[in-house]
Structure 1
Amino acid sequence: MKPTHSIPDILKHIKANSSKWINDRQKIHGRFSWQAGYGIFSISESQLPHTIEYVGNQKQHHQRISFKEEFVGFLEKNGIQYDKKYLWE
């Protein structure tokens, strides 16, 4: 990502295009839409191989721990302050 790129603009583009792709192909029952918010985290280049492996194992990983549990754990592990009432819609 270039320093001139805006995270909100990139996320808007990703959400719009992925929603269209999912809905055009009827990948789920009903209409797909994203929640209003998002979380963005950066990694160093040295962590890229580990991150690729981590993303590739999501299906198995989330059989053991829910996304919500993992996300809150990540926030806490990294000392990120949050208010539970704003995390989930």
Structure 2
Amino acid sequence: MSYVKIWVHAVWATKNREQVLKPDILKKICNHIFGNAKEHGIYIDRINGHDDHIHVLMILNPDLGVSNQVKLLKGESSHWANKMQLTKNRLYWANKYFASSVSNNKIDFVRKYIDNQQEHHRKQSFGEEYKIFLNSLGYAEGYSDEDFG
């Protein structure tokens, strides 16, 4: 049997960066994503977000790959949120997302970062956060936070 353990930090935003993920809605969506992931063999270690985006620290299901795993989580969660009428208007996720592997020695840092989203975003916008992610991966040129929404 093969053994695969690849940690992934994924972030996705609402379409047009609409700030519809108020605390009560965010909590319901995060809980739903967590449960849905478990049903599909996806281990989520941490999930949290802020008004217009969600962060997930998870282990990659090798049968899905990053693209399909994120697509499954995004698509099913927006479908469920709209069925439950959680938001005034329909919830749409932006087409693009951020995903990066996380080394074992950085797991605790990413956990704390995800856990502290509300505090973190009192000091830094999502756009600033996105640029820091891209810079950390060497993608400083040619990308902007508008690519994300």
Give every structure 1 segment of 4 or more consecutive aligned residues whose post-TM-superposition deviation is greater than 6 Å. none
What is aligned with 2:96? Answer: 37
Alpha carbons of structure 1 residues 56 and 50: separation in structure 2 relative to 1, 3 Å: same
2:73 counterpart letter in structure 1: I
Aligned-pair RMSD on alpha carbons?
2.1
CA distance in 1, matches of 2:116, 2:103: 20
2:103 counterpart letter in structure 1: S
| 1:67 and 2:126 are equivalent in the alignment | yes
Residue aligned with 1:39, SS: strand
Q: Is the 8 A contact 2:61 2:69 kept in 1?
A: no
Give the alignment of 1:1-89 within 5 angstroms.
1-84=60-143, 87-89=147-149
TM-score by length of 2: 0.52
State how many pairs are aligned: 89
Alpha carbons of structure 1 residues 7 and 82: separation in structure 2 relative to 1, 3 Å: farther
CA distance in 2, matches of 1:15, 1:82: 27
Runs of 5+ unmatched residues, structure 2: 1-59
Q: Percent identity?
A: 28
Greater RCO (Cα-Cα under 8 Å, separation 6 or more): 2
TM-score by length of 1: 0.80
Residue aligned with 1:47, SS: helix
